[in-house]
């Protein structure tokens, strides 16, 4: 496993203009090769600062990857900075200059004088051909580190990573295994508390936690010859503790898991939404083939529609209000029968920012669930602003359905 540092170069990365997507892209590549990124550094288009960043990175990591600053203009100084770090001069690379000339000729454009700058590379090292742009990439040895210089244009980075880096950054011989266990309905700190014993009894596995509301993820990481088995054992132990709170792993998506279950048991669902404005139905219908499991639904925002379209009783609305157990239950039962589905799901709540009260504060949400024989509703209090409350409510609605169906035999 090689240690890697990534240097992102460009004034625009330090002024709020450009988000550094190149570094994350390179992270994923490095990770897929079985190596480890230990640090990201961002530096402005300043020759001294870039040279120093190269020297520092090379002194503490085995591989250094940089992007940016290879353009034809005076403010792109990465090659000069690398030469400075190497203690050598720049030289004109004739094949690169010829390639740049050809490129312009094939586009029927005149090459300008400053493009010659893009053919200037350090005397020590090797040019890497870049067929997706004019600036070449470059590699050299700096101290103990292998350095790769890439352009800043994301499309060019992708091309070079796909075509030129794989054979230059071989796959690590050491086995690395990862697994992401996905959880709904359990907060991060509660999650850690619940699996504390599993963490303690699996010291060879590294545990990490990631929140992506309303989901929480437990990340497992292990290296070595036994890593796969260690990860499997740890996952089994986590699942044993968390039970139904785990909805999937790695690439599983909540709505996909729900969809597969409905498909497997050959049942359909209909949805009545108030405060989520259709988000649950949008999520279900984002999957191809959803007509197999999704009958349809209603966005019933006004009380009037809740009565007329879903059969919610006027007395329930008057006595308990739209955000209540009774109304959530009647919405779920109503949409189920109106749409002719096996299951009815409903959501009604206070997404705010206005409308909260002491007994129904902002974030109060009722989720309802109905089958042919039973109806129930659950009360929640979700955190955040309007957007977050809506997103969490939609996710928890899908999750309620998933939990109800998990016990249903195929
Ligand atoms: P080329 O010589 O191929 O034109 P370059 O090395 O000169 O590339 P820059 O001029 O630094 O690249 O940047 C080109 C474009 O790429 C700009 O639009 C810039 O915002 C974008 N870019 C640069 N660095 C990054 C980065 N780290 N993440 C995402 N975009 C970036
Ligand atoms: Mg630049």
The partner residues of 4 in beta bridges, in order of sequence, read 37, 63
Closest C-alpha residue for ligand 1 atom 15: 153
Task: Using a pLDDT cut of 70, give the percent of the chain over it.
Answer: 100
CA angle 303, 345, 273 (to 5 degrees): 35
Q: Which of 153, 157, 160, 161 to mutate to test the pocket of ligand 1 (most atoms within 8 A of CB)?
A: 153
The Cα–Cα gap between 94 and 82 comes to 19
Say what the pLDDT of residue 84 is. 98
Name the closest-CA residue to atom 27, ligand 1.
20
Alpha carbon of 201 to ligand 1 centroid (Å): 47
Q: Report pLDDT for 322.
A: 96
Task: Tell me which residue has tokens 């850690």.
Answer: 192
Question: What pLDDT score does 175 carry?
Answer: 80
Query: Is the pLDDT reported for residue 172 higher than 90?
Result: no
Give the separation between CA 326 and CA 318, rounded to whole angstroms.
11
Give 91's pLDDT tier (boundaries 50, 70, 90).
very high
Q: Helices in 266-382 by DSSP H: which ranges?
A: 279-285, 303-310, 314-320, 325-339
Distance 196 CA to ligand 2 centre (A): 47
As residues whose CB is below 5 A from the ion ligand 2, the structure lists 10, 69
Q: Are strands 215-223 and 269-273 parallel, antiparallel or unpaired?
A: unpaired
Which residue has the least CA distance to atom 31 on ligand 1?
Answer: 152
Contact 186, 238 (CB under 8 A): no
pLDDT(137) > 90 = yes
Q: Rounded CA gap, 109 and 25, in Å?
A: 32
Question: Which residues are near ligand 1 (CB < 6 Å)?
Answer: 8, 10, 12-13, 18, 20-23, 67-71, 76, 133, 135, 151-154, 156
pLDDT at site 43: 98
pLDDT at res. 70? 96
* Residue 135 Cα to ligand 1 middle (Å): 11
pTM over 0.85: no
90: left (phi over 0), alpha (psi -120 to 50) or beta: beta
d(Cα 75, Cα 268) in Å, to the nearest integer? 60
Model confidence pLDDT, tens digit, residues 367-410: 999 999 999 999 999 999 999 999 999 999 999 999 999 888 77
> Which among 7, 152, 157 is the best mutation to test ligand 1's pocket, defined by most ligand atoms within 8 Å of the CB?
152
User: What single string gives the DSSP state of each residue in 97-155?
Assistant: HHHHHHHHHHTT-PPPGGGGGGGEEESSSEEE--TTSSS-EEEEEETTEEEEEE-S-HH
Residues 6 or more apart in contact with residue 314 via CB below 8 angstroms: 307
**Per-residue model confidence (pLDDT) at position 249:** 98
Looking at the predicted structure, is the pLDDT value of residue 8 above 90? yes
d(CA 68, CA 38): 20
56 alpha carbon to ligand 1 midpoint, in Å?
22
Q: Which residue has the higher pLDDT, 83 or 111?
A: 83
Question: Which of these, 140, 125, 136, 141, lies nearest to 163 by C-alpha position?
Answer: 136
Q: In this structure, what is the dihedral angle of CA atoms 15, 21, 24, 26, given to the nearest 10 degrees?
A: -110
Ligand that lies nearest to the alpha carbon of residue 23, given by its number in the listed order: 1
pLDDT band of 224, cuts 50, 70, 90: confident
pLDDT, mean of residues 245-259: 97
């Amino acid at each position: 496993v090689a240690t890697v540092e990534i240097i992102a170069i460009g004034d625009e990365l330090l002024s709020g203009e450009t988000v550094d997507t190149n570094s994350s892209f390179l992270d994923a590549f490095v990770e897929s090769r079985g190596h480890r990124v230990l640090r990201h550094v961002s530096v402005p288009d300043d020759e001294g600062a870039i040279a120093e960043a190269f020297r520092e990175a090379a002194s503490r990591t085995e591989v250094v990857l940089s992007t940016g600053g290879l353009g034809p203009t005076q403010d792109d100084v990465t090659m000069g900075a690398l030469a400075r770090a190497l203690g050598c001069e720049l030289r004109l690379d004739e094949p690169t200059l010829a390639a740049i000339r050809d490129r312009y000729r094939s586009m029927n454009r005149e090459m300008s004088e400053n493009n010659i700058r893009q053919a200037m590379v350090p005397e020590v090292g090797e040019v890497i051909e870049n067929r997706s742009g004019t600036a070449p990439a470059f590699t050299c040895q700096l101290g103990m580190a292998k350095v790769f210089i890439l352009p800043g244009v994301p499309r060019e980075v992708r091309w070079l990573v796909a075509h030129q880096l794989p054979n230059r950054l071989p796959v690590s011989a050491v086995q690395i295994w990862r697994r992401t266990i996905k959880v709904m309905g359990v907060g991060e700190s509660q999650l850690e508390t619940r699996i504390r014993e599993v963490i303690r009894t699996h010291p060879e596995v590294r545990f990490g936690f990631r929140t992506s509301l309303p989901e929480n993820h437990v990340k497992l990481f292990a290296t070595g010859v036994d890593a796969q088995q260690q990860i499997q054992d740890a996952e089994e132990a986590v699942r044993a503790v968390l039970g139904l709170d785990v909805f999937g792993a790695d690439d599983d998506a909540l709505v996909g898991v729900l969809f597969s279950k409905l498909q497997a048991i050959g049942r359909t669902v209909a949805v009545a939404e108030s405060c989520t404005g259709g988000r649950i139905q949008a999520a279900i219908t984002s999957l191809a083939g959803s007509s197999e499991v999704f009958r349809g639904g209603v966005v019933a925002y006004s009380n009037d529609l809740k009565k007329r379209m879903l059969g919610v009783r006027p007395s329930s609305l008057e006595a308990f209000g739209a955000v209540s157990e009774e109304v959530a239950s009647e919405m779920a039962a109503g949409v189920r029968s109106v749409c002719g589905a096996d299951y009815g799901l409903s959501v009604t709540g206070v997404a705010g920012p206005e409308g909260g009260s002491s007994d129904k504060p902002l974030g109060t949400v009722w989720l309802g669930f109905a089958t042919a024989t039973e109806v129930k509703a659950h009360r929640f209090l979700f955190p955040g602003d309007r957007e977050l409350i809506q997103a969490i409510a939609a996710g928890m609605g899908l999750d309620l359905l998933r939990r109800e169906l998990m016990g249903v035999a195929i």
